[in-house]
Amino acid sequence: MINLSVKLNDWTLKNPVIPASGTFGYGLEFSMLYDLNVLGAFSTKGTTWEPRVGNPLPRIAETASGMLNAVGLQNPGAQAVKSLYFPAIRRVFSDKLIVNVGGHDEESYIKAVELLSDDPIVGAVELNISCPNVKAGGMAIGTDAGLAAGLTAAVKKVCRCQLIVKLSPNVTDIAAIARAAEDAGADGISLINTLLGMAVDYRTGRPIIANTYAGHSGGAIKPVALRMVHQVAKAVKIPVIGMGGVETAEDVIEFMSVGATAVMVGSKNLTDPFVCKKIIERLPSVLQELGTDDINTVRGRAL
């Protein structure tokens, strides 16, 4: 019997595969394609206290081995998510989920976390201090260890479940940011969010994305993500969730080898909506190839 279950502190996931925030909506569209209960969990679209319409169009562009996005946390707001989306999710998903929370200042983060974390469907809040596509909050907080620690400590006081802090790769020392979040009370770290990038139309010489800059994700960023997950896993004692260019079961094993407890799948959901299901089905065969029947034995092999 192959064991795929992993533990995020006291929360046991049936497997380590988690669709990443911003690539899976609130799960409802994907529930029409396959049974979401095969997933370890999933992370919701970034949710803020107030509704957001997001950034102007165009805000998505394909790249050679990935994509750029500057959606800008478009969402219906925390109150609508709790009252309308959570009941709908419960009808198609029996486990707990991770709710990704964004904000533009400390108060907006606190209000959203306090409201959303009080619902029993939420197993963890993923504190988004790393989004590069908003003018306030997001990456502006996550690139400063002091600001990251201050927000983490403030939110921790009202969070009624595990608090996972999502980090930006757009920093010089990601381990220092991770340690600051851990010291401030974070129960886990997730990384990496998108790398800040740009696309230009050679015909006009103008940026393709209306915001000019956007978050780059997909297979191209995987080596950077692996390096940063490795650095953070060595620096902290709390669980680490790795992501960045994950497309296959073998990628999941690589991220666990550098210290991740669980792994999020992002952009690939947009080109293959069945990818998470395929990865989960493939993992037992990969473990058999490695001569183990427990996925936890591969964690940290590269540390």
Q: Which residues are tagged catalytic? A: 131
Rounded to the nearest 10 degrees, the angle between the axes of helix 249-257 and helix 275-290 is 60
- Rounded Cα distance between 299 and 295, Å, is 7
Residue with tokens 């929360």: 11
Q: Is 146 helix (H, G, I), strand (E, B) or coil?
A: helix
Q: Which two tokens stand for residue 83?
A: 């009252």
Residue with tokens 């750029």: 68
Q: 6: how many CB neighbours lie within 10 A of its CB?
A: 24
Contact status, residue 180 vs residue 239, Cβ threshold 8 Å:
no
- Rounded Cα distance between 170 and 102, Å, is 17
- Rounded Cα distance between 11 and 2, Å, is 19
